[in-house]
Chain A
Amino acid sequence: MLNKKRTKSKGSNLVTWLMLSPAIFLLVVVSIYPFLWVFQYIMYDYNGFSKYFVGFDNIKRVFSDTLFWQSVIHTFEYAFLKLIFVMPLSLVTAVILSRKLRGSSLFRGIFFLPTIISSAVYCLIFYFIFAAYNGVLNSMLHTVGFIDKPIDWLGAPSTAMMAVVIVAIWGGFGNYMILFSSGLTSISEDVYESSKIDGANGVQTFFKITLPLLGPVLKVVLMLAITTALKDYQSIMVLTGGGPNNRTQVMFSYIYNLCFGNGTSELQIGYGAVLSVVAAIIVGIVTLIYLKISKKLDDIN
């Protein structure tokens, strides 16, 4: 009896691992192997064909690499500008749509639409819209009389970051709106009813009832938004390629150019490996600080 049971559990153990094996295979090959590979090249100069041992040179270079630290600053600038607009906008919209207005679900469907389109493709579309001479944005502004001569939105250092952020807001808004919406559905109708009876208006209800009750969801979504914004570089690659004159270069686009080239300079994969680790640490530190702060806020409340 005991023996039979043991063989049975052995057989089903095998089934367990067999059923897990594709997932484990993918985890090892796609996640763990590249991670370990990166550390292997930290002390090498590697251009994709031959590698030379350079010791700590790559690491020393990080500290004197002003272009990299500039791109770090741009990363934070981009993330900050994106979040400061997209978070309130998506939250307010989610709250409005939760009030069972006629056409709510249609609006929700429209606002969510950008998130199903590839950021590469919508960035290309915005590249057309922002074009200096035949772009539709300049034509519109000109027709209304806001501008006399065309603005080179993506090509001028003064406007490029703004243009990139506008596209990021357009692309991210629907996603956060939906996340907030699902958080709002968990707030009971009764709470709103009683605040109405107490005579609270819409704005008061928002700040005194909705926002505090949405706190946990808000925290998760905000963390998601921060890390996403810090890691985002795909749209920048399509819109500006980090230009003009590195004005929109962010950490990960800078690293991409080192590892895969921008067509002008030789690949520097070893140095790219060091910067990748530095960038991952920066994102990690920001996440930790955020978690600390949000926990502190919890304790106060």
Chain B
Amino acid sequence: MTKENESAVSPIVAVPAPTPRLEMRDIAKRFGATVALEGVSLCVAPGEVHALVGENGAGKSTLMKVLSGAHRPDRGQMWLDGQPFAPPNPLAARHAGVAMIYQELSLAPHLTVEENIVLGLEPTRWGWIRRGAVRARATEALRHFAHAEIAPDLPVSRLPLPAQQLVEIARALAVGCRVLVLDEPTSSLARQDVERLFGLIRQLKQQGLAIVYISHVLEEVKEVSDRLTVLRDGRSVGGGQTAALPIAEIIRLMVGREAKELYPRSQRQPGELVLQVTDLAGTGKPIQASLELRRGEVLGLAGLMGAGRTELLRCLFGLHAVRRGQIKVGVWSGPASPLRRWQQGVGLLSEDRQREGLAVALSVADNLTLSRLTGFGPVGLVLPGRQAAAAWRWIEQLNIRCRAPHQPVAALSGGNQQKVALARLLQHDVDVLLLDEPTRGIDVAAKATIYQLIDELAAGAPSAGRKPRAVLVVSSYLPELMGICDRIAVMCRGRLGPARPVRELSEHALMLEATGQATAN
């Protein structure tokens, strides 16, 4: 990434209309030691669709949370139609006319379409809801869509997903929104629904709405947006007229950076086969997956969010049902359950450490030892003192910052929580580690510890005389996968591609494959 390149494609200062509908200038936000945003500016004119692109963790969602009032920026200012705009909370932002449509819809499934549309601003007379006015307002909001399935008196749960999304947009219109943010709106839509959504977006443009469009699917970005901004590591690294930027150039801006010294790599020696997956299909995703994993090897699974990588790991671990195919762990190939997998020497690190990976109200020691509570006392007793001793070992070895083993995990920082979750696999002494987003949302120091640990495990350390472990890593951060893996396979829409040695791959090629454009280019 060169200087001239960036300056050539960042005419952010050039504002197309006299008063932009939305202007964000020099927004900065840190969480503790982590810099999430560092001086990002965004300017959207009335009737413009502005795409925001970047890898996961680039700062897109933080920027939108600042816009929606969920986060207060540390620095920077915002204007709506020339008026200073500093929402203290999401409700205030909504009232000011900023509407967010997220991937996960936020409708009340038991209420009807019209009740959802007017929710929170029901027209009333003496406390009684005026049903006529409700119907009128809902009809007005739904008028744009020409979507026959959406009857105002139907419960939302009876509608198909694309129609629910339209209801959510209709709700945004009913509150009189001026800025509409669509966060990955097409991730769960079929192609004809995407077309219909784009038709609607163009129609809303005509009415002078400013639309911020966030998506991983760059084809769609090209199709629907007027201008775009690329974020990387919390900064805007480029942007401009969408028509002037080829997809390959956008990807280059998104990926950008060199792999640094962050990723240690010892001499690794692929050994015996420990995990063999043949033609696996789950009830939803994965649709088709085959892979082989050997001792002493780190295999990466790349792909977009929702491609089915997490589901693949969960199928392997017996947490999701398997519809077809075979999983062979060492010499075992019978049915799977988490208990059986642990006994076979397989451990899973969940992507969601708050809700699944850890019982945050329990102590560090309890969380570390939960998968195997044996050997902590005579006749099957579990003596807290011995649990604590085991915990101290990992607290010291992984440098987990906590007061003591009995401290609740909830009191630890994200990076230290993740170390606890990972240490559980070490305490259990597993041979196969399934790691789902092992460094999501943690600071660089903790990331470095985890990278080093993965390398040591694959190389046979830290316990001397120990056989090398096999590691399967899912990550949405390509530099990380390129840095730590020996081979990488890409998953795209539920199908797993072949695993290829990392030296034959580039981030660019992986990104193209992950977005399903490998053949087009």
| A in complex with B | no
Interfacial residues, chain B to chain A (CB-CB below 8 A): none
Interfacial residues, chain A to chain B (CB-CB below 8 A): none
